[in-house]
Chain A
Amino acid sequence: MQSRALEILVGLFVCLGVAAVFVLTFRVASLDSVGSGDGVYRVTASFENIGGLKPGSAVTLAGVKVGRVKSISIDPVSFNATVLLEMSNQYSTIPEDSNAKILTAGLLGEQYVGLEPGGAEESLREGSQIKLTQSALVLENLIGQFLSAQTEKKDDGLAQAIQSLADSLKPPAASAPAAP
């Protein structure tokens, strides 16, 4: 029994409200986007092999997400992969000589870049390049190394090789991974 104009107005209000809920839902579903609040600064790192790293993969320090992979390209000179990282301005004191490794979340999870802080006084800034990097582990190479280690040392070579394989597949929060 309300006037039609009032009904249309309320209906419009409801439509806007529902649209707002949908927008909010999409933001929640895509999780927190890094840098949406404070802004970002960009940093590059060069890897021989990026494994399964993708744009949008996380960049972590001590297990905390501090940025994400913006883009990946090939350096035409060295034929290494140049990864562009977007770091949140919240974390602007990461030492310049930090180490960047490509790690796997869990056993079969997706890959991400894990940073280990160095000791330099200078911090990473817009345009900095991370010099110390460790590429992704490729399963075939590991098996190849394991088999060749087998043929070299008989005694605890097997145990050592299995140990290093197990260690390198663990997430970095555990012990420091041994070099393969």
Chain B
Amino acid sequence: MNALTQVVGGFLAGLGRAQFFLVQLLFALPVSLLRPRLVIQQLYMVGALSLIIIVISGSFVGMVLALQAYHALVRFGAEDSLGVLNALVIVRELGPVVTALLFAGRAGSSLAAELGLMRATDQLSAMEMMAVDPVQRVAAPRFLAAVIAMPLLAAIFAVMAIGVAGGHAIGVELLGVDAGSYWGQIRASVVLEDIRNSLIKSTVFGVAVAWIAVYQGFHAAPTSEGVSRATTSTVVMSSLAILALDFILTAFMFG
């Protein structure tokens, strides 16, 4: 029984500490904006370096979706609706969610590992002793960069999946769906509201992944197991948070 209270207490304390940390991050954001070079550098590390995996994944997801959807729709003679199905599924669900999961795995884990290692080698302590606030200098720029990068990456994912390599390539080129009806139907059925909801989702996911990754890394135990635990916790907790948030957001947006 005592062990259980310890575990529960530890879990709640961790949640509480994460809240305080989030407040610290938010207060440090304005200062980070005054040093755009830090944010831009992190934007490169977190965003630009994630491009390859997002582009390739977007293409594959779009292609698979087109394949599956085509074979389901052709039975009703509705293969011309392929564009609509592809676009709506990607824009509303798969785009933000899959991008966020990939982002958590690639950028989230690298953020956590980097910060964890800085913690383990006393670099963050050294900064404190040099009278530089590590939250302002190190954590907040990374947090901000991740929040900015996520919606952008989700948009690129959607473009790749629906157009360029994904649905269009398979549907129009390979399976013979009419290009005009593919794109025309998309134009007709994907409304501004869908785009707006998609952006909201990807931004919310971005905040969740950024917060979890930066918190885990910053508060990692200063040992090698601590760093590895921080990295795996980041990926696991981010993934669960993304899926749970997706449920909540979808219910409110489309319920």
* A contacts, CB < 8 Å to B: 2, 4, 6-15, 21-22, 25-26, 28-29, 31
Residues of B close to A12: CB separation below 8 A: 12, 16
Give the distance in Å from the alpha carbon of A57 to the alpha carbon of B251 in the complex: 21
Residues of A close to B14: CB separation below 8 A: 7, 11
- Contact between chains at A29 and B251 (CB < 8 Å): yes
Pair count A-B, CB < 8 A: 50
Residues of A close to B127: CB separation below 8 A: none
Q: A2-B20, A28-B255 are in contact. Are A7 and B12 (CB under 8 A)?
A: yes
- Contact between chains at B248 and A10 (CB < 8 Å): no
Assess whether B237 is interfacial by the CB under 8 Å rule: no
Residues of A close to B44: CB separation below 8 A: none
In B1-41, which residues have CB < 8 Å from any A CB?
A: 9, 11-17, 19-20
Q: Helix, strand, loop or mixed for chain B's interface?
A: helix
Q: Helix, strand, loop or mixed for chain A's interface?
A: helix
B-side interface size class = 10 to 19
Residues of A close to B9: CB separation below 8 A: 4, 8
Give the distance in Å from the alpha carbon of A22 to the alpha carbon of B9 in the complex: 22
Residues of A close to B15: CB separation below 8 A: 10-11, 14-15
Residues of A close to B12: CB separation below 8 A: 7-8, 11-12, 15
Q: A4-B13, A15-B12 are in contact. Are A10 and B19 (CB under 8 A)?
A: yes
Give the distance to chain A from B93, nearest Cβ to Cβ, in Å. 15
Q: Which of A4, A11, A25, A31 contacts B19 (CB 8 A)?
A: A11
Give the distance to chain B from A70, nearest Cβ to Cβ, in Å. 23
Interface centre among A6, A11, A13, A22 (most CB of B within 10 A): A11
The 7 nearest A-B residue pairs measured at CB: A11-B12, A11-B15, A10-B16, A7-B16, A11-B16, A29-B251, A7-B13
